[in-house]
Amino acid sequence: MEVGCPMRILVVEDEPRMAELIRQGLSEDGHVVTVALNGVDGLAMAQPGVFDLLLLDVMLPGLSGLEIARRLRARRDRTPILMLTARDSTSDIVQGLDLGADDYLTKPFSFDVLLARVRAAGRRGPIAQPVWLSTAGLTLNQGTREVRRGQRAIELTRTEYAILELLMRHAGRVLTRESLIESVWGGDSDIESNTLDVFVRLLRGKIEPAGETRVLRTVRGVGYCLRAESE
């Protein structure tokens, strides 16, 4: 996307006056702007391919901007995200970036700076996502959903694949039971922790058959982690 090219931008900002100022300024710069005044509406409107850029306030009613970013990245939506917030501590900025934001602008800000950040995001476009994931002797093709351990092909159900993909995308890190359940079944699901355990046991039986090295670790009372013994 070239500099100055009009973009479709979703602004999620709960202060109506601020939202209108941003909408007006971006519209005058040639962009097509949609506004949501709360996090729930913002997440519902942020469908893949609809917008070229998301401007998210951090403090929102319903869902925070950080939670919106986390959920979008969990479902592999790579639309660029620019956070707008009054929080300017290093820890807040790091948290936003770690959850999937591409840039961070603290309030109050110069509108010229905002326009420059918007243009920069437009030049970058959606974040490229690797097709292959590889860790602990396992490979996973996100395009074909093919899974292998070494040369051995592994057939997985939809749920088993979703769990493994999450663990591989966060290889070496412990994912809590709650985060796995929300990502795989959705935040409104009635799925219980023991149901997750059943699927993990089935997955483990396929990626760790008798005689093969253990790579899917249980962290008692917390969740699960994927790593080789040497990692």
Q: Does the pLDDT value for residue 3 go beyond 50?
A: no
Q: How confident is the model at residue 12 (pLDDT cuts 50, 70, 90)?
A: very high
Task: Give the domain CATH number at 107.
Answer: 3.40.50.2300
Contacts of 95 (CB under 8 A, 6+ apart): 66
Selected residue with higher pLDDT from 87 and 52: 52
Give the model's pLDDT for residue 206: 94
Q: Is residue 51 part of a domain?
A: yes
Task: Give the domain CATH number at 159.
Answer: 1.10.10.10
**pTM of the entire predicted model:** 0.54
Where among 71, 94, 124 does a domain terminate? Answer: 124
**114 shares a domain with 15:** yes
Instruction: Give the span between the Cα atoms of 202 and 217, in whole angstroms.
Output: 14
**27 shares a domain with 78:** yes
Instruction: Give the span between the Cα atoms of 32 and 27, in whole angstroms.
Output: 6
Peptide bond into 80 cis (omega under 30): no
When the pLDDT of each residue in the chain is averaged and rounded to a whole number, the result is 84
Q: How confident is the model at residue 218 (pLDDT cuts 50, 70, 90)?
A: very high
Give the model's pLDDT for residue 142: 74
Q: Is residue 2 part of a domain?
A: no
Cα–Cα nearest to 23, from 124, 111, 119, 123: 111
Average pLDDT of the residues in 168-184 = 85
**22 shares a domain with 115:** yes
Tens-place pLDDT, residues 196-208: 899 999 999 999 9
**104 shares a domain with 13:** yes
Where among 68, 96, 124 does a domain terminate? Answer: 124
Give whichever of 3-17, 41-55, 91-105, 120-134 has the largest mean pLDDT.
41-55
Average pLDDT of the residues in 179-201 = 78
**185 shares a domain with 77:** no
Average pLDDT of the residues in 58-83 = 88
Q: Does the pLDDT value for residue 41 go beyond 90?
A: yes
Question: 10: which strand partners?
Answer: 34, 54
Amino acid letter for position 101: A
Contact present, 113 and 131 (Cβ < 8 Å):
no
Structural domain including 154 reads 132-226
Where among 124, 158, 179 does a domain terminate? Answer: 124
Q: Is residue 1 part of a domain?
A: no
35-38-40 Cα angle (round to 5): 110
Tens-place pLDDT, residues 72-86: 888 878 888 998 888
Residue the block writes with tokens 């030049």: 123
Contact present, 98 and 91 (Cβ < 8 Å):
no
What's the structural domain count of the chain? 2
**149 shares a domain with 48:** no
Instruction: Give the span between the Cα atoms of 56 and 59, in whole angstroms.
Output: 9
Give the model's pLDDT for residue 1: 37
Among the residue ranges 87-101, 168-182, 196-210, the one predicted with the least confidence is: 87-101
Percent pLDDT > 90 in the chain is: 35
Give the model's pLDDT for residue 88: 65
Give the model's pLDDT for residue 96: 75
**147 shares a domain with 119:** no
Tens-place pLDDT, residues 101-128: 888 888 888 888 888 888 877 766 555 5
